[in-house]
Amino acid sequence: MEASAIGAAAEPGERLGSYLARRGVASRREADRLVREGWVRVNDRAPSGAGQRVRAEADRVTVRGRPVPAAPPALVTLALNKPVGVVSTVRDPEGRPTVVDFAPGGVRVFPVGRLDLRSRGLVLLTNDGRLALRLTHPRYQVVKLYRVAVAGHPRPEQLERLGSGVVLEDGPARPLAVRPAGRWRHGARIELGLAEGRSHEVRRLLAAVGLAVVDLQRVAIGPLRLGSQPEASVRELGRGEHRRLLRAAGLGP
């Protein structure tokens, strides 16, 4: 048993999924998906899985026929104020605009999590796969804050039920924060804080308590706030912002 543990520790190379994420190809989850779906080759052969070990100095790795750089790139993280009608993917088979279309030329990044087509607000674009995993995995409890305009004015019992949690078709869900955020012409605004990112979760939570979403905007990810950043604009995070984001993800002092 002891010899086996020593052998595992001495196993050379890096897990394929981690290798792809550290080189800015995709987040860890997305990199694993690319391997599963057959888009990745190691030395012109299909890998055994995302756990296969690869070595930068000895193995040639390609994704969709494009070589993956042997050396990790300089890490970059961008903040985008996503407009409605833009998809949160690297590419779209229907030809719709994607969030990475807003990145400066020559910068290869991928979105951290998703914000659906009808929603707007803060999206992070990065080539740091480790940061992306920490920001999106519910285990790390990095809160995303959403400001939602709903039709009409919620009754107290609707907000109480929302704060207590509801059962959705994919399991129980409970916001970490629920608070009124003022009014608009045809109803009220609510702020919700969530640490997970299930598909259309905010919309489904509100529908479950009888509230119809008119506008949905993500205004914060952890300590990073959207603030007054103009819609459809993208910017690189400042050093202090990046440090605080790493700390929130458990990656910094």
Residue type, 206: L
Cα dihedral 147, 148, 149, 151 in deg (nearest 10):
-160
Catalytic positions, written as ranges: 116
8 A C-beta contact, residue 121 and residue 226: yes
Extended beta strands in the chain, E state = 14-15, 40-42, 53-54, 61-63, 66-67, 77-82, 110-111, 120-126, 144-151, 166-168, 171-173, 177-184, 187-194, 213-221, 224-225, 234-236
Q: How many residues does the chain have?
A: 253
**202 DSSP assignment:** H
| Token digits of residue 195 | 């640490």
Q: Hey, what are 38's tokens? A: 């057959």
